Amino acid sequence: MADQGKRKPATGGPKRRDDAVPLSGRDPRFHSPEAAIPAAPPPRSRPLFLRVYVWAPLLLALMSGLYAGFWVYTARQAGQALDRWIADREAEGFAPRHRGIETGGFPLAVRLTITAPSLTAPEDLGEWSWSAPRLTASLTPFAPRHVTLDAPGPHLIALPGDGEGKKPSLAISGKTMTAALDIGPDGAISESKVALEDLSISGGTSAPTTLASLSLHTLAGALYPAAGGGAAAQSAILEMRGLRPPPDGRIGLSEMLTALSMKARLIGRLPGGPLEPALTRWRDDNGTLRIDDLSVTWPPLSLRASGSLGMDRDLQPSGGLSVQARGLFELIRGFADQGWTRTVDSDMARMVLSGMFRDGQITLPVTIRDRVLYGGPARLLDLPTVTWGPKGPRALNRIAPGFAIDQQGKAQRPVDSEAPPQRIVPR
């Protein structure tokens, strides 16, 4: 009966286990009852000025405005630089003129288009003049010291007169006539690259001279490696192709000068100011023009030379080159045929030089002394006097249109004063 008071464990239904895991996945022994998860707050809206579709156009407009202002500033500086150049030339006695300057090229470049530019030299330089229908100078705002000039022409050049009012003139035009200039802080040109293509030069009554291409690269300093001769104040590399002179300028050679190249250095800085006193100071400071490599191909002439030139006491070219050449006899004969030298001098030169040829090639020094060009011991031709300053009295050894020299070296004025200028043969 005592066992009847005890409760018997239930035998039916599931048994509870202490390690049972509730269906929620959370154990109530270690976690509080689940709480309600609050809803996410609504996203905060950004201020209007932080939105990309608002600030991006504003930033672009600001940058465009700043660049436009910078372009205007650069264009104004370029115009002022041109005005200073004109004022400097006027102070030197030149007469620069134009019919107007137009500024354009926005946004990529600053372009100054000069209409009908012209320049006339002072009287002591012979009053030569140059003019063209248009000249364009271009630069970029981020490189204002690099200037590109474009002037396809035609260019009209009036050379110094003969003292009687006659001025020979040239007309020059071409497919490409450009120059790229680097301007230094002092306003001087530190580097230049000139490119000409399909050039035509006409003047007088002779046929025009044509040129396929010409490139000239100059630099204030050393442009190429060279040994000896001193430090270069200025250096240049010249390349020329396809020169066709008129028939009276072929000097006994073929109708085309195939190629000409030259590397040259100016030793000693040339002072500024009037040319004659500047050359005098340059000469007194042992200034020379060093020709490191000169190559000419003008069939049948083939020539290679190097040497140096300077100025003598009369400011005339003086110096010498070491020359290796083929076809030299044809050149000397051409000097006589064209009336550039006397026949007796040409015959004597060929006779003296004939024993110096080896396998059709000759190696000899070519010198200039007292306005005479020598090939080894042979006198090749007399050179005209070069006048750097004001003109002096007429001399027979000066080039002067309106005179001719016969084969005996006597001056002859043409009977017809209206006849075209004839070539003078220096004595």
> Tell me, what's the pLDDT at 424?
37
> Tell me, what's the pLDDT at 416?
39
- Which pLDDT tens digit goes with each residue over 322-340? 999 999 989 888 888 888 8
Q: What's the DSSP call for residue 3?
A: G
> Tell me, what's the pLDDT at 337?
85
Pairing of strands 317-326, 357-358: unpaired
> Tell me, what's the pLDDT at 19?
53
CB within 8 A of 310, min separation 6: which ones?
283, 287, 288, 289, 317, 318, 319
Q: Are 134 and 118 in contact (CB under 8 A)?
A: no
Q: Are 50 and 58 in contact (CB under 8 A)?
A: no
Sign of CA dihedral 264, 270, 274, 276: negative
> Tell me, what's the pLDDT at 48?
59
CB atoms within 10 A of CB 126: 18
For 48, the enclosing helix (H) or strand (E) is none
Q: Are 180 and 150 in contact (CB under 8 A)?
A: no
pTM recorded for the entire structure: 0.75
Listed residue (234, 129, 227, 150) closest to 190, CA to CA = 234
Q: Which two tokens stand for residue 136?
A: 């364009």
> Tell me, what's the pLDDT at 229?
76
Q: Are 220 and 232 in contact (CB under 8 A)?
A: no
- Residue 282 one-letter amino acid: W
CB within 8 A of 122, min separation 6: which ones?
92, 93, 94
Listed residue (209, 205, 212) closest to 250, CA to CA = 209
> Tell me, what's the pLDDT at 219?
96
- Which pLDDT tens digit goes with each residue over 97-121? 999 999 999 999 999 999 999 999 9
Q: Are 292 and 305 in contact (CB under 8 A)?
A: no
> Tell me, what's the pLDDT at 222?
92
Residues of the chain with pLDDT under 50: 1-2, 391-405, 407-427
- Which pLDDT tens digit goes with each residue over 323-382? 999 999 898 888 888 888 888 888 888 888 888 888 889 999 999 999 999 999 898 888
Residue-wise burial string across 321-342, b where 16 or more C-beta atoms lie within 10 A, e elsewhere: bebebbbbbbbbbbbbbbbbbb
CA angle 97, 180, 271 (to 5 degrees): 70
Q: Which two tokens stand for residue 268?
A: 């000693």
Round to whole Å and give the CA distance between 366 and 304. 12
Peptide bond just before 154 cis, omega within 30 deg? yes
- Which pLDDT tens digit goes with each residue over 193-221? 999 999 999 986 678 999 999 999 999 99
Dump the DSSP string for 362-427.
Answer: EEEEEEEETTEEEETTEEEEE-PPP--SS--S--TTS--TT-EE-TTS-EE--SSTTSPP------
